[in-house]
Structures are given as C-alpha cells and as structure tokens.
Amino acid sequence: MRRLVECVPNFSEGRNQEIINAIAESIRNTPGCTLLDVDPGKSTNRTVYTFVGSPESVVEGALNSARTARKLIDMTKHNGEHPRMGAMDVCPFVPVSNVTMEECVQCSIEFAKRASAELNIPIYLYEEASKTEYRKKLPQIREGEYEGLAEKIIKPEWKPDFGPALFVPEWGATVTGARFFLIAYNVNILGTKEQAHRIALNIREAGRGPEQPGRLKEVKAIGWWVNEYNLAQISINLTNYKITPPHIAFEECVKDAKELNIAVLGSELVGLIPLEAMLMAADYYIEKENLFVIDQRQKIKLVVERLGLNSISQFDPKKRIIEYMIEEEPNEPLANLTLRAFIESIAARTSAPGGGSASAAIAAIGAGLGCMVAQLTYGVKKFEHLDKKMREIIPPLYHATQNLIPMIDADTNAFNDYLEAIRLPKDNPRQKAIREEAMENGLKKAIDVPLSTMKFGDAAWDMMVEIAKYGNIASKSDIEVGAKSLETGIWGAYKNVLINMPKIKDERFKKETLELAESLKLRAKEKLNEVLEILDKRVD
C-alpha cells in the first residue's frame, strides 16, 4: 500500500469561482498529488480542498496552493459565516496509510518553514505539531479572528511559530499542523439560527463554558443560517470520529430538535469521510433496528438514508468516502477473467495458473454455494422461523467466499519473491548466504499462500454444517456440491503446501506448518462427511 498523507487546506474564498478554480489547479498540477474534493460555500465564503499524496508531494501541493492564494485572495474584503483568520486559514496534514503522525508533523513544519519564508506570512502550529498547550487547539489560535489579529499578533505570547510577528492585512495568518482525521459535518434543521446554535451548545464538548460542558467529546459545533439552503444548520467538526462518530452527533441533534419541536432535514458531509466511520454508522443502525445487511454497498446506502446525506446534494460514495477515492484496482487478472477464459488459461501450455489457483477457485465456489443456499432460505415466509439462524450462518460463508477469491491470483504470484531470489548474485560466500536466505523466505511465502487458502476455507466449515441442518432441503444438491468443492479446494491447497516443503531448511517452520496443514486437511474430510451424513438423514 502506498504511503499517503491527506492535506485539507481551507481557504477564505467560496464565491469567486475563478479563484476557487485557480487554487484547485495549483494542487491538481502538483506531481504526486491527487485532488479528491473541492467544497465551496457561499454563506461561509470558504472552500475546503482535499488532496492526497506522498509526504513530500503534499507539502509541494500545499505550497503551490498557498502561492496562488497569496496572489488572488485579499482578506481586507472578506466576510462570511465561518470563523477565520487568514486567506489560507488552516492547513492540516493527516495520516492515511503507511504514514505516522510524526511524519505528518514534519510535513506541517516543512510547509510552515518554506511558506513563511517565501510568502512572508505568519504561520502558527496546532494540534500534534504544537508544543504549547494554550495555543494547541484551532479555536484558541483563531480567537479574535482576522479582525483581532493586528493587536494579537504583536503580543509575545502570540508570536507566530514561523514568519513575521506582524499583521499582513491582505493575508492574515495561517494555522498548520498534524491531526487525526476530522469530519466536517452539518445537520440541517427547519428552525432559526439561534435554535441551531442552542443545539450546538448542548452537544459540543466545550458546551457553554467550563461550568456547563456539552454532552459529546471531541466535538466542536456552532449554529448558523445558510441562505442558499434556506435553512439553519448545526455545523459540527468531529475531531476524533472513533470517540464521537457522525451518527451519534446526528442522533443527539435529532433528540434535541424534538424537544424544541423543530424538524431535522437530514445532514450534509463537507469534504470526505473514512469508510470506517460509515461502517460504524451502519453497524449502529443495523443493531438498533435489528436489520440484516452484509453487503458493504448496501450498508453505505443504509447510512446515507438514515443520516439523510442526500438532503442537500447527491451523496456519491465514490467521491465522498476517502478509501473509495484512493483505492487501487486489485491486481487480480485471473479472478477478473470470464469463467471460460479462466478455465482456458488453466488448460494452456503454461505452468501458471495451476493447481493452487484452481484449488482457491474451487474452494471459493464451495463456500459460495453454501452462502447461496443460506440466502435463498433467509427471508422466505416458509422458512421465516429460521431467519435468526440464517443471520448467523450467512456472514461466515459470505466472508469465506470473499477471502478465497483473491487467493486465486495470490497463488500464481506466490513464487515471485523466490524467482527474484534465484536471480541474486552468488559470486562469493556472502552473496550466496544472502541469496539462500532470500530463497528460503520466498519459499516460505509461497507456502503461506496455499496455507492461507486452507485457513480461509476452513472458516466456512461450521456454517456449512449448519446450513446442511437447516437450509432449504430443495437445495440439497447445492450444499453437497458446495461441501465437496470446499473439501477438494482445501485438499488441493494442502498438496501445494507439501510440494514446496522439501526445499525448506527451517525445521521448526516445516514441522509447525505441516502439522497445521495436516489438521486442516483432516478436518475438511471429517466436515464433508458430516455434511453428507446430515443431508442423507434429512427428510423435510
């Protein structure tokens, strides 16, 4: 997986489309940066940009956007609903994948050093990048906003971390740092700005002050009126969605709105959201309403509906969920073939794909047939007394099937490391030792792939037995074929474990792996017989 950092600069311009586009282009044209979202707001007069890239490239993207804003935005003419203190108001760096928070801190410091020196602007550090407690949070630094900055910036305790301790009228000041993934989220109400703000005070962590804290941790919120929507909003920043996720904030707003006798008209996501937060919401509503939803796409639809995320504009998961935006197509050329092409590729005069890939495919078909019968039994009036049982059976079979499919290609790719190791030089004892170690590690990896196929297949057996007991007997042959296919796939994977074992020198690895593989093979045979015996005895 790539090393990815998310950068979410907020610029104090949400009305002039030429300026909005110019900043977007400066990011889009930065090598290594992928611009994911541009979200302007007219009432707030603010645009939130979201882009990702390597640590090095996102720093360049942030710099390029700041350079453009320095030329085009004049804060002396700015007004809007959102709190702000600068043209580039805030520029956080957020770890996404294979990047630590400390690396993001270094990104923010690098950006601050270079931007302050080149553009002659004051920059403050916040969140994880700040070492000063009284100026660690964004509201602390932004207190007084742009209008109070001229007096504030010359005070010793508010000297910028980088750049001049002077008021720059056309720019103001910028805040940068590293933080956890922030979700900007608005709840829509048919009420007044004052009512929205009252709810915001109730839920936000700061509440109405130290003596009257709000109910939700890691939440910042205010109420405002949005002219273009002709309604009020509770504008919420969720600074740690693992502590307070969007669905909890939404439900708390709904509860308060009911007490005030005002209607909630869905909600609005500003920028992107992590997939985890959406799935947390799905799990919440599934449990709350005793639903049964297993497909991830259907879970996302459920959340969009329950939170009313389409109420203002169309919520497109591919453009709103960050993992969907940056996901790469899986390297699964075999699994993506037509069935005919896959079989023909096995029959071709090549060593790959071979028995390992075929075994994974057969095992996947076996688990899939069990899942099919369970789903055909679930939700049918005749079998509604079994719905609870099917809810237990379907998920393990579904997940086993999904886990086995990638093993079709994984087996074909299993020898890549071993083949590369063979090509290593062996001209002297040191090179030979390095080569032999690399070959051993490559072989272990090649063995681990079919062993993983066996493990994934084994995870389906208990529910294959259950579906044999309770599934629609009209699908008896499907269960029989499924169980036999699953056992055959596991047996085939076992043979692929054995064939590479003689070359392994690590005796402990060899012993432990063979013991596990043997036990999985024997269990598959036992479970197959159990399934067939159950089905032979069923008469319903």
Taking residues 161-183, what's their average pLDDT? 95
Residue 182 carries which DSSP code? P
pLDDT tens string 471-504: 999 999 999 999 999 999 999 999 999 998 998 9
Tell me which amino acid residue 329 is: E
Tokens 């993506």 sit on residue = 336
* Residues facing residue 6 across a β-bridge: 52, 94
Strand order in the sheet with 219-226: 219-226, 231-238, 183-190, 263-270
Q: Indicate the pLDDT class of residue 96, thresholds 50, 70 and 90.
A: confident
Residue 328 carries which DSSP code? P
Residue 514 carries which DSSP code? H
Tell me, yes or no, if 385 is annotated catalytic: no
For the ranges 281-290, 352-361, 366-375, which has the lowest average pLDDT? 352-361
Q: Indicate the pLDDT class of residue 539, thresholds 50, 70 and 90.
A: confident
pLDDT of res. 91: 98
Reading the block at residue 79, the tokens are: 């007004």
Determine the Cα–Cα distance for residues 508 and 521; give it in Å rounded to an integer.
20
pLDDT tens string 124-156: 999 999 999 999 999 999 999 999 999 999 999
pLDDT of res. 3: 85
Q: Which residues fall within 8 angstroms of residue 479, CB to CB, at 6 or more apart? A: 369, 370, 373, 464, 467, 468, 471, 531, 535
Q: Which of 307-316, 319-328, 422-431 has the highest mean pLDDT?
A: 307-316
DSSP 84-137: -SBSEEEEEEEEEES--HHHHHHHHHHHHHHHHHHHT--EEEEETT---GGG-S
Determine the Cα–Cα distance for residues 175 and 80; give it in Å rounded to an integer.
18
Q: What is the per-residue burial (b if ≥16 Cβ within 10 Å, else e) of 5-31? A: bbbbbbbbbbbeeebbebbbebbbebe
Determine the Cα–Cα distance for residues 40 and 17; give it in Å rounded to an integer.
9
pLDDT of res. 55: 96
pLDDT of res. 289: 97
Does the pLDDT of residue 414 top 90, yes or no?
A: no
pLDDT of res. 362: 98
Determine the Cα–Cα distance for residues 191 and 184; give it in Å rounded to an integer.
21
Supply the mean pLDDT for the chain: 94
pLDDT of res. 411: 83
Tell me, yes or no, if 399 is annotated catalytic: no
pLDDT tens string 455-476: 999 999 999 999 999 999 999 9
Does the pLDDT of residue 326 top 80, yes or no?
A: no
pLDDT of res. 363: 98
Spell out the domain ranges in the chain. 4-178, 183-326, 339-537
Determine the Cα–Cα distance for residues 270 and 479; give it in Å rounded to an integer.
47
pLDDT of res. 270: 87
Does the pLDDT of residue 328 top 90, yes or no?
A: no
In the set 82, 89, 247, 256, the catalytic residue is 82
How far is residue 45 CA from its own chain's centroid?
Answer: 29
Taking residues 45-54, what's their average pLDDT? 94
Comparing CA positions, the residue from 285, 449, 423 lying closest to residue 360 is 449
Taking residues 57-65, what's their average pLDDT? 98
pLDDT of res. 237: 94
Does the pLDDT of residue 442 top 90, yes or no?
A: no
**Angle at CA 62, nearest 5°, toward 61 and 63?**
90
Q: Which helix (H) or strand (E) element contains residue 409?
A: helix 407-413
pLDDT of res. 1: 58
pLDDT tens string 184-219: 999 999 999 999 999 999 999 999 999 999 999 999
pLDDT of res. 114: 98
Contact 3, 97 (CB under 8 A): yes
Q: At what angle do helices 101-119 and 55-72 cross, to 10 degrees?
A: 30
Determine the Cα–Cα distance for residues 286 and 430; give it in Å rounded to an integer.
59
Does the pLDDT of residue 299 top 80, yes or no?
A: yes
What percent of the chain is predicted at pLDDT more than 70? 100
Architecture of 183-326 per CATH?
2-Layer Sandwich (3.30)
Phi/psi for 34 (5° steps) reads -120, 115
Contact 247, 212 (CB under 8 A): no
Q: What is the per-residue burial (b if ≥16 Cβ within 10 Å, else e) of 269-300? A: bbbbbbbebbbbbbebbbeeeeeebeeeeebb
Phi/psi for 457 (5° steps) reads -65, -40
What is the CB neighbour count within 10 angstroms for residue 98? 12
Place domain 4-178 in its CATH homologous superfamily.
Answer: Formiminotransferase, N-terminal subdomain (3.30.990.10)
CATH of domain 339-537: 1.20.120.680
Contact 385, 338 (CB under 8 A): no
pTM for the whole structure: 0.76
pLDDT of res. 418: 80
Does the pLDDT of residue 54 top 90, yes or no?
A: yes
Taking residues 99-106, what's their average pLDDT? 95
Residue 213, preceding bond cis, omega within 30 degrees? no
Phi/psi for 32 (5° steps) reads 90, -5
DSSP 123-176: EEEEETT---GGG-SHHHHHTTTGGGHHHHTTSGGG--SBS-SS--TTTB-EEE
